[in-house]
Amino acid sequence: MRRFCVALLCIAVFPTCHAQNQQTGTGADPVKPQAAPVTKAPLPPSPDDAPIPDQGAIPVPYNSSSPIKRTLRRLDPNCLDAIFHLCWSSPPTDDPIYKSYEQKRVVEDLELGDAYMKEGNYRGAEFRFEDALQYEPENPGATFKLAEALQNLGRKAEACTRYKNYLEIEPSGAFSDRAKKGLQKLTPCPDVVTVQ
């Protein structure tokens, strides 16, 4: 025990004695004072670097910029193990809430149809807009966009009918000016095909 105390005393006293010898220059090897290295402050942690929580861990915020990590966090179940095993789904996302499956399907069809129109895939856009009209036959946006897709495909009679259908649904709607211009380009309309 005595050796241990002496060792601790030497460890505690040696650095101060060594520092005094360096300052006064009485040490065996004079050491030049060096500037302390400059270190950069660490960056704050990103939400993307946070680990995906395990069961029972505190949930990580859902404001990650990585869509993959957001999806993984959303799919991670929240569980409580006490007397029995209980799990529930993750908190709801910022996705819009639809009243029905049909309404959600119409929105998806319109978004995909718009993407196909931008790509120049008018046949794919036609299928998407027709699918949207199966769920909502009086949807003005789908009717007008279907008319434009049909016009780009060269099916003028059907396009003319769809433009007229749009103007019947919304005579002063968002696309009414463009529908009227589309009808003027197709005038005189070819034999009109009845579309239901």
pLDDT exceeds cutoff 90 at 3 = no
Q: In angstroms, what CA-CA distances link 172 with 167, 177, 189?
A: 8, 8, 21
pLDDT tens readout for residues 108-164: 999 999 999 999 999 999 999 999 999 999 999 999 999 999 999 999 999 999 999
Determine the pLDDT at residue 146: 94
Residue among 53, 57, 85, 88 nearest 72 (CA): 53
Residue 103 binned pLDDT confidence (cut-offs 50, 70, 90): confident
Mutual orientation of helices 176-186 and 140-152 as an angle, nearest 10°? 30
pLDDT tens readout for residues 65-77: 677 776 766 666 6
Residue among 96, 117, 93 nearest 109 (CA): 117
